[in-house]
């Protein structure tokens, strides 16, 4: 008996990149509701970029069983969407004469510490809710920027791992060929 050639796939809920992207999406929806005009076209663009980041991680993960190429492409699309969102937040800060926090500023370090739970609880929007729902637009934009950077870092790592896995294991056609070759070998040995 041979193993199938479609490997287990999905499991995106366990990816830290996905978990962070959900938080980024939730913060973006709150940010747009609180700080941008209802008819501002940027609202749709920001929400869609945040959604695209999240959704493309899901789609890539689900496609991974039959196409590593598609998984890599969609993970890159997620990364690109979040980069677009990052620029929207930077634009907000610049056009509102607000400061962008330095990577190692006290504020940015605080946001990073919030995401590290000492009791093993999963990071969610609730981790940041108090700050997102009570602070000004400049603070919320900077929190979102910190989280987008974290998510993009995770996606960069994920893409590198996907590339290495592809080089090591190949794609669907190669798995199909190996499975077919193994199945033929099993029949011949009977």
| Spatial distance between the Cα atoms of 15 and 161, rounded to a whole number of angstroms | 13
- How many C-beta atoms lie closer than 10 Å to residue 55's C-beta? 17
2 within a domain of the structure (yes/no): no
pLDDT at 77 over 60: yes
149-158 tens-digit pLDDT = 999 999 999 9
Residues above pLDDT 70, as percent of the chain: 81
Classify residue 177: in a domain, yes or no. yes
In a domain, 30, yes or no: yes
* pLDDT of 21 above 80: yes
The whole-angstrom distance between residue 149's C-alpha and the CA centroid of its chain comes to 10
Distance CA 101, CA 144 (A): 11
Q: List the one residue out of 168, 189, 190 whose CA is nearest residue 68.
A: 168
> Which residue has better confidence, 116 or 65?
116
**Residue 189 is assigned to a structural domain of this protein:** no
Asked whether residue 51 is assigned to any structural domain, the reply reads yes
pLDDT surpasses 90 at 148:
yes
- Say whether pLDDT at 19 is over 60: yes
Residue with tokens 């000492």: 118
Contact 10, 68 (CB under 8 A): no
Percent of the chain surpassing pLDDT 90: 65
44's CB contacts (< 8 A; 6+ apart) are none
Residue 6 within a domain: no
179 found inside a domain: yes
Structural domain includes residue 5? no
pLDDT band at 162 (very low <50, low <70, confident <90, very high): confident
pTM score: 0.84
Structural domain that includes position 53: 12-116+125-184
Tally of domains in the chain:
1
Query: What's the rounded Cα separation, in Å, for the pair 25 and 21?
Result: 6
Closest CA to 62 of 49, 80, 78: 78
């Amino acid at each position: 008996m041979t193993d199938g050639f479609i490997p287990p796939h999905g499991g995106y809920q366990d990816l830290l990149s996905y978990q962070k992207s959900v938080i980024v999406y939730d913060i973006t929806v709150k940010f747009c509701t609180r700080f941008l005009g209802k008819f501002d076209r940027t609202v749709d663009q920001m929400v869609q970029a945040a959604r695209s980041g999240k959704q493309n991680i899901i789609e890539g993960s689900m496609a991974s069983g039959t196409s590593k190429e598609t998984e890599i492409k969609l993970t890159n699309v997620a990364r690109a969407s979040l980069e677009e969102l990052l620029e929207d937040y930077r634009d907000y800060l610049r056009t509102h004469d607000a400061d962008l926090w330095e990577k190692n500023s006290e504020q940015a370090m605080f946001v990073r510490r919030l995401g590290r739970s000492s009791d093993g609880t999963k990071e969610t929007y609730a981790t940041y809710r108090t700050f997102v729902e009570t602070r000004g637009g400049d603070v919320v934009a900077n929190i979102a920027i910190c989280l987008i950077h974290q998510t993009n870092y995770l996606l960069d790592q994920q893409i590198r791992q996907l590339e290495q896995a592809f080089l090591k294991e190949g794609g669907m056609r190669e798995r199909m060929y190996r499975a077919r070759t193994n199945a033929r070998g099993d029949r011949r040995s009977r």
